Chains A and B, each alone.
Chain A
């Protein structure tokens, strides 16, 4: 269980994280979503005791991380930025970690095996590819068999196999009852793994809900309508003030009107429809809706970041 309570981080006049409050519960994968620069990494670094909050606090299993005597046994973390000494071998890096937390050395070889680095464990980290470093970072996170896991952008730099491996790992960790927080700026990635979403933009909480709710809440559904007379359709939908977008061959995308209403409107206009399909909204679209709204938040002093 991770509890974030009114967490705030200011750098001078810049507000990186503004009064964030949320909980991360065990047993599910919680996605921590936001565009680059939204404050995800800063929030995670404050949870992990690396950065000092300007206000508020973060508790991991009821305790502040900074007070933990052997943190690796309760919390495993993968940081987005490089955190291991490049001149040391993977195995030596893990040995240092194990020593510092009283973890038996046998576990070092176990975890190296687990992440698939057994063949290269004695090589210095500077010769590793980004994907191998990511695996090593995950190995350090898992070293102490922790009940709480935080992964910051874990699929960065991984190839297709690696991405699939991380997805399974994250789901398995949650299925075993662990608390799992995974950050990403990739909406598609969250859609693949997360059960619950915490969405932030410009340091502020935008959504904290099951992923289905976020999708449903984020905006009106889009309906694909096929008809021989798109002009008539557009006129008959005028009263809904719907967004209508013409595609090729008499196909129209209508946003903000339900299929039932479109059907009724077509019947009144005596219009034949040959297609009426709800387009499932991707998390990407939901996310854009959510974050575009956050731009209007008056309290935010930060520069608008690239929502892409």
Chain B
């Protein structure tokens, strides 16, 4: 190699190009580990089984909206989707992969943006696709009782995308902050499932109020429309506040702290 070639230091790469490459790398990272596909498989099987059960278990001749079956199926299945994102973030800390990530793209703001976009958009898209399949399965089991309103599908899939997108962003933020798979898993279960239920069941008004503002309630209220006791604006505010807090903390951890 000539010294002239060695002297070439590329300058002035547009940030858009740096970001595009970081996104491409993030995508390759996501699809080249088996845990992504196992988690997705688990999420799909769960969704379809619950959709089938909801269809088969429907009693009486009341019309049953099929897309709502998909929404309800997502409530327990969301955790399998979120696992994809969670592992994409936290496995880098247990394996040391985060060191390579930062070495290869040292502009941490770019890494942060790509790590938010790729895994979260991926599971949101997967959830929407699986939800369509779940609705169709439920339809098959419901037969005559199925209520199929074509206009509802967009609203329903929109709710599913919002619910998973919110959970995904929350997970990325917490994962970057806690830097540990068991730690983030625990935090997500507490915020999304255990605390909203436990506090909501205490009957102590202060605690049930707190439970209304936890992420899990916002997700359930988005998906299971009958349960809505909170106005849509409150749900939106709760989601935005949790997302902002989690991304601020996660972003700080990735950008300001030493890379383990």
Binding site for B on A (CB under 8 A): 26, 45, 48-52, 61, 63, 65-74, 77, 79, 81-89, 92-93, 95-97, 99-102, 140, 145, 147, 176-178
Contacts and interface: CB of A to CB of B under 8 A. Distances in A.
Nearest to B13: A69
Which of B7, B18, B95 has the most chain A CB atoms inside 10 A of its CB? B95
B45 interface: no
Contacts of A81: 96, 99
Given A49-B102, A61-B9, A84-B100, A96 B34 contact: no
A278 to B, nearest CB: 40
A87 B92 CA distance: 11
A7 to B, nearest CB: 14
B1 A96 contact: no
A72 B106 CA distance: 10
Nearest to B18: A69
B129 interface: no
B32 interface: yes
Nearest to A49: B106
Contact of A83 (B24, B29, B32, B99): B99
Nearest to A95: B28
Contact of B25 (A86, A96, A177): A96
Given A69-B107, A140-B100, A177 B1 contact: yes
Contacts of A84: 95-97, 100
A contacts with B: majority SS: loop
Which of A82, A96, A97, A101 has the most chain B CB atoms inside 10 A of its CB? A96
A109 B108 CA distance: 28
A247 B103 CA distance: 53
Which of B33, B106, B108 has the most chain A CB atoms inside 10 A of its CB? B106
Nearest to B20: A102
Contacts of B96: 81-84
Interface of B: 1, 3, 6-7, 9-11, 13, 17-18, 21-22, 24-25, 28-29, 32-35, 91-92, 95-97, 99-100, 102-108, 256, 258-259
Contact of B32 (A79, A95, A102, A145): A95
Given A83-B96, A85-B33, A65 B106 contact: yes
Nearest to A62: B9
A41 to B, nearest CB: 11
Contact of A52 (B17, B92, B106, B258): B258
A51 B103 CA distance: 11
Contacts of B104: 71-72, 96-97, 100-101
A268 to B, nearest CB: 58
Contacts of A49: 102-103, 106
Contacts of A176: 1, 6
26 contacts: A45-B258, A49-B102, A50-B102, A50-B103, A52-B256, A52-B258, A67-B106, A67-B107, A71-B104, A73-B10, A74-B9, A79-B99, A84-B97, A84-B100, A85-B95, A87-B33, A87-B95, A93-B100, A96-B29, A99-B21, A100-B22, A100-B24, A100-B25, A145-B1, A177-B1, A178-B6
Which of A63, A73, A83, A178 has the most chain B CB atoms inside 10 A of its CB? A83
A83 B97 contact: yes
B149 to A, nearest CB: 43
